[in-house]
Copies of this chain bind each other. A is one copy, B any other.
Amino acid sequence: MIERLSIIGVGLIGGSLARALRAVGQVGEVVGCGRSGPNLEKAVELGVIDRFTHDPGEAVVGADVVFLAVPLGAMRGALSAIKDRLDASAVITDGGSVKGSVVADAVAAFGKVPTRLVPGHPIAGTECSGVEASFAELYRNRRVILTPLSETEPDALSLVSRMWEACGAEVTTMSVGHHDEVLAATSHLPHMLAFGLVDALARMRENDEIFRYAAGGFRDFTRIASSSPVMWRDICIANREALSAMLARFGIEMTDLAESIRRADGDHLLEIFERAKAARDRYVDRVK
């Protein structure tokens, strides 16, 4: 049970955490913090938070747990703003899609790794944003990756694990670097392809006609290109090393594919497509 939860950034991710904890009676007071007055008022109206402030420092006073759900580009500022106002026992965690940059931001703000920081990443979301898009079931049966450091106090890790499990999530831990590589492959690279594809088509002369003939497959394929541009700008920059490596790997794959198409090398194309289909079908069987 968390007596007071402070949520910095009350959108889809932060709002859904509050809703999920409330649904299972695992949170007392929820204090929200953000820049947009109307969004925070909406959050109170929806019962997601109890009260709000625009000042992160004020928001964390007396909090047991502070959850940072701001874009990665705003993490350092938020950490600096809360640093001197935290209770000694307060646990800090976050929902950022890149963990190396959050740890670096914490070190920059605190002068060292805070021992009660538990970097985290719920692998969940939709292409929508804002508190109105939040819902209590977002994390049910989804994975949450925590990336504790050698400095992290075990009781802080345990508290954050239990918090996510109360939301119905399956918690796993891994190193910061490994998290950032895995996510570059499974999330950040696919988003780049979706944004890149839609942008390439949008820039074609006859783009309006092209979109008119796009079928259902295209709709699904490009759904993630409707995600928040600001959030993705921040993710790209925060994880640019691992993402650049994945983009290079994908570039080699596509060069091979393009060469095979140009040479009309049916056998090689079939080999690629069969390996991909087998992997995709295996994966879908598992997550069903």
Binds B, one of A13-21, A46-54, A55-63, A237-245: A237-245
Please, which residue of chain B has its CB at the minimum distance from the CB of A189? B197
Residues in B neighbouring A250, C-beta threshold 8 A = 196-197, 200
Q: Given A217-B223, A225-B277, answer yes or no on A283-B199 (Cβ-Cβ < 8 Å).
A: no
Residue of B nearest to A269 (CB): B233
- Assess whether B213 is in contact with A182, with CB atoms less than 8 Å apart: yes
Which secondary structure dominates chain A's binding surface?
helix
Q: How many residues of A contact B (CB 8 A)?
A: 94
Residue contact A194 to B182, C-beta cutoff 8 Å: no
B264 lies within 8 A of A230 (CB): no
B186→A210 contact, CB < 8 A: yes
Q: Known contacts being A210-B185, A277-B229, A280-B198, is A240 close to B261, with CB within 8 Å?
A: yes
Complex CA gap A142/B215 in Å reads 8
Q: List 23 A-B contacts (CB under 8 A).
A: A123-B213, A125-B216, A126-B216, A143-B213, A182-B213, A187-B215, A195-B276, A196-B250, A196-B276, A198-B279, A198-B280, A199-B272, A200-B252, A200-B253, A202-B276, A214-B287, A229-B273, A233-B269, A233-B273, A244-B258, A244-B261, A247-B258, A251-B254
